Amino acid sequence: YCSPEIASVGYTEKAAKAAGYELKIGKFPFSASGKASASGAKDGFVKLIFDAKYGELLGAHMIGNNVTEMIAEIVVARKLETTGHEMIKSVHPHPTMSEAIMEAAADAYGEVIHL
């Protein structure tokens, strides 16, 4: 365990490129999150890596408060071969820390709301 918390699953951006994938990358800083601002936990981010061709989630990397809890959503999304657009359309209550996952997916597709 460490502070800030670190959580990741799947490919890194470098490894995905080396494996031959064309990528869409989305990143959302907690400093733009209402919940993070209200709780004073504005340090950190969520970074998502998608296959540009099919939209499948290839990897996720997060640093910040509660990310070791948030990674569970990403693990399920990878297992189910969830696409970026499916993540964007999934309900993420506002304001919550997990909403940063949806925002990072939206950033990868040019649809981010809170940046």
Average confidence (pLDDT) over 8-13:
98
- How far is 112 from 115, CA to CA, in rounded Å? 6
- In order of their start, the domains of the chain are 6-108 (3.30.390.30)
What's the pLDDT score for residue 48?
Answer: 99
Alpha-carbon distances, residue 51 vs 15, 39, 73, 75, 80 (angstroms): 12, 33, 18, 16, 14
Query: In whole angstroms, what is the distance from residue 58 CA to residue 16 CA?
Result: 8
Q: What pTM value is reported for the model?
A: 0.95
Q: Answer yes or no: are the C-beta atoms of 65 and 36 closer than 8 Å.
A: yes
Is 94 in the active site? yes
Residue 113: band (very low, low, confident or very high) from pLDDT cuts 50, 70, 90: confident
What pLDDT is attached to residue 114?
A: 76
The length of the chain is: 115
Mean pLDDT, residues 90-112 = 94
